[in-house]
Amino acid sequence: MSTGPLREGERVTFSDAKGRRHSVVLRAGGMFHTTKGGIRHDDLIGGPEGAVATSVGGDQFLVFRPLMHDIMVSMPREAAVIYPKDAAQILMQADIFPGARVLEAGVGSGALSIALLRAIGPTGQLFSYERRSEFADVARRNVRAFYGEEPAGWQVRLGDLAEAIGPEEVDRVILDMLAPWDCVDAVAQRLVPGGVLCCYVATTTQLGRTADMLRTHGGFTEPVMREYTARDWHAEGLAIRPGHSTSGHTGFLLFVRRLAPGAVAPRKRRRPAPGAYGIDYHGPRPPWVQTAEQAAQAGE
């Protein structure tokens, strides 16, 4: 993100007194038109960020460069994006650090890619897998628009992760896909001991099946599963209340860490709820859960 005086070719956001925003690319000789007259771009180019621009008719607008948060929620998209409230938790809880080797699958429109690339810095590597070429093209355009070019440490690979995964060892894996359980074996072979795997899923069914597959695999810690919501607040004098804008359910985040080769995690002490793996359950079973046939053979 740029600092210093505003320059021609930069994107800025005009915000009015009601909080309405307009995204504009500054051009020499350009004009931002409002219902009360225009604002000349030349009056802003070379000036400071955070200035107040006044139209001919007296409308005032704050002028700032857009933050990453603003870009992620407004960028062109072919697929749904991971919203900033979830992306922030991924960066923190997956411990994305400068120089990290990160694998993401389900690049979508590139919103999370933008955040990951900033976190890993110029010495890190990001391997982004996407099954659909049209999604990958949109992601590339969005990343180029944000950084001005494609970062040297970023590779976009087309194909199904389970089949197209490269030979590189990675420190972190983020899966944003419909069936992450299909890729557990593949990423387990590439994720270094102590590395973090994060899965982003939309439904409770996906969440449960992913957790059970990771338990069945045996090479990961017990999954930690969370959902995050965000709520605005209004505070003015004695009028303090929740705001009208609330970001509710967008997805679930699941985090595990890779065990050392041959290590076996201590068995989970809390027993599954009665019926958790009943006759109607057809998904993966952790090794300590018996099928009905196994229980009958054991005389239980």
For the chain, list residues with pLDDT below 70.
1, 246, 268-271, 274, 288, 290-300
Q: What is the DSSP string of the chain?
A: ---SS--TT-EEEEE-TT--EEEEE--TT-EEEETTEEEEGGGTTTS-TTEEEE-TTS-EEEEEPPPHHHHHHHS--SSPPPPHHHHHHHHHHTT--TT-EEEEE--TTSHHHHHHHHHH-TT-EEEEEES-HHHHHHHHHHHHHHHSS--TTEEEEES-HHHH--S--EEEEEEESS-GGGGHHHHHHHEEEEEEEEEEESSHHHHHHHHHHHHHH-SBPPPEEEE--EEEEEEETTEEEEEEEEE----EEEEEEBPPTT--PPPP-SPPPTTTT-TT--S---TTPPPHHHHHHTT-
Q: Bridge-partner residues for 198, per DSSP? A: 174, 255
pLDDT in tens, 122-150: 999 999 999 999 999 999 999 998 998 99
For residue 68, CA distances in Å to 22, 36, 50, 239, 256 come to 16, 30, 16, 31, 27
> Which pLDDT score is estimated for 35?
82
Cβ neighbours of residue 240 closer than 8 Å, sequence gap 6 or more: 233, 234
pLDDT at position 247, please? 72
Residue 64: predicted pLDDT: 94
pLDDT score of 298: 55
What residues are designated binding site?
109-112, 130, 160, 176
Q: Which residue positions form the known binding site for S-adenosyl-L-methionine? A: 109-112, 130, 160, 176
How far apart are alpha carbons 268 and 288 in whole angstroms? 9
**70-257 to CATH, choices 2.40.30.10, 3.40.640.10, 3.40.50.150, 3.30.9.90:** 3.40.50.150
pLDDT score at 289: 73
Nearest CA-CA partner of 203 in 182, 186, 180: 180
Tens of pLDDT along 74-122? 888 877 888 899 999 999 999 999 999 999 999 989 999 999 999 999 9
Q: What is the CATH number of domain 11-66?
A: 3.10.330.20
pLDDT recorded at residue 288: 67
Residue 81 to residue 93: CA distance in whole angstroms: 19
Q: Domain ranges in the chain? A: 11-66, 70-257
Distance CA 247, CA 195 (A): 30
pLDDT for 74: 84
Amino acid 270: pLDDT: 67
What tokens appear for 256 in the block?
């595990």
| Structure-block tokens of residue 299 | 């005389």
What pLDDT shows up at residue 132?
93
